[in-house]
Structure 1
Amino acid sequence: MAGENRTLREWIMAALVATAILLICRYIFFAPYQVKGESMYPTLKGNELLIVNKFIYKIKEPKYGEIVVFHSKEGKDFIKRVIGLPGDHIKITNGKLFRNDKEVGESYIANKIDPSTSFEEVVVPAGDIYVLGDNRPHSEDSRAIGPVDEKEVVGRAELVLMPFSQMQQLEP
C-alpha cells in the first residue's frame, strides 16, 4: 500500500511539473494568435490559429519578410510582414515596392497594388520597423498607421496550427 501511495505521489508531482513547464513556455516563449480579416491573404486566412514566438526578438532583431504580431497604438493586435528596418528608405512607385531604391520581389502578395498607386518615400526611424500586409489593397499597415515601434512587437509567427488541413511552418 505504501508503494502505491508513493507511485501516485510521483505521478501527481510529474503532472504538476509538466503543467508548470507548459505554462512557463506558454507565457514566456509562445502564444496563440487568431488571424482576423484577410489582410495577409493568401499567406494567412481569416480565423487561422497561429503559434507566435514571443522570445525570438529578445535575442535577435526582426528580418525582412518575417511575419510579426504587434500591438497598435489603438490597442489592437495586427499581423503583418516586415518590409523595412531602421534606416531603410521605403516607397511604392507605379505599384511596385522599393527598399533603398531597389525593387523588392514579392511572390507572396495576393493582389498587386494598382499600377497607378504610389506613395512618398519614408525613412524607417531608429527602433521601428515598416510592415505591410500581403493583401495590399485590403490591409491597414504602415502606409496608414506609420512605422511600428519594435517594443510593440509581440513576436514572430512561426506556425499555422489550425485548421489542421492548413498546418504549415511560416518561412520569411
Structure 2
Amino acid sequence: MPWSRARRLLAAALIPVLVLLLIRGWLVDSLTVSSDSMEPTIPAGSVVLVYKPAAADRIPAGAVVAFTSPVDRRKTIKRVVAGEGQTVAIRDAKLYVDGVAVPEPFIDHDRIDATYFGPETVPAGSVFVLGDNRSVSIDSRDFGAVPLDAIQGIVLVGRK
C-alpha cells in the first residue's frame, strides 16, 4: 500500500511538470530581448512570451513577431507594419502604408526624427517588419521583407 501511494504522489507531482514542458515546447517560448530596437515598447533585457503556433498567414499589421534574423541568425523581434502587396514608406519618421499615414502611438517620434525610407512593395508571402526605435533598428529596411514561413511566433507579453 505505501508503494502505490508514493506512485500516486509522484504522478501528481510529475504530470503538471510534464504539461508545462509540453506547453513551453509546443505553444509558448520565452525570449530575452538583447537589443534596444523595440524601445520604448519593449526595452532591452525584457523577457517576452512568444506564441509559437500562430498562423503566419494571419499576422495582423501591428503584431510583434519573432523570427531568426537574416543578419546574425539570432532570434529577434520586430513589429509587422505591412503584408504582401502593400507599399511601405517612411517620411520624416512617419510610417505610410499604401500612401496612408499609419498612427503609431507606441513610437517616440522624437527618437526617430529625420528617418526616411522607400517606397517599397512587400513581396508575396512576406511581411515588412520594423523596430519601434527606428534610428537604431536593423529591420526590413536593411534585410528586406521576412518570409511568412520564417515567422516563429507572435509576441504575447513582455516584462523587464
TM-score (norm 2): 0.91
The equivalent residue for 1:36 is 34
Match of 1:114 in 2: 113
Query: Aligned residue for 2:44?
Result: 46
Which of 47, 58, 68 is residue 65 of structure 2 equivalent to?
A: 68
- Runs of 4 or more consecutive aligned structure 1 residues displaced over 6 Å after TM superposition: none
Corresponding pairs, count? 158
Deviation at 1:15, TM superposition (A): 2.3
Residue 56 of structure 1 contacts residue 156 of structure 1 at CA under 8 Å; is this kept in 2?
yes
Correspondences of 1:15-164 after superposition (within 5 Å):
15-57=13-55, 61-73=58-70, 74-112=72-110, 113-115=112-114, 117-160=115-158, 162-163=159-160
- Structure 1's unaligned 5+ residue stretches are 164-172
Residues 119-170 of structure 1, C-alpha deviation per residue, up to 9 Å, x if partnerless? 221111111110111111111111111101111111111112x44xxxxxxx
C-alpha root-mean-square deviation of aligned residues, in Å? 1.6
Q: Distance in 1 between matches of 2:41 and 2:152?
A: 19
Report if aligned partners of 2:93, 2:109 keep a CA contact under 8 Å in 1: no
Percent identity reads: 32
Unaligned runs of 5+ in 2: none
Residues 16-48 of structure 1, C-alpha deviations (whole Å, 9 max, x = no match): 222221111111000010011111111111111
Q: Distance in 1 between matches of 2:84 and 2:64?
A: 17
| TM-score (structure 1 length as normaliser) | 0.85
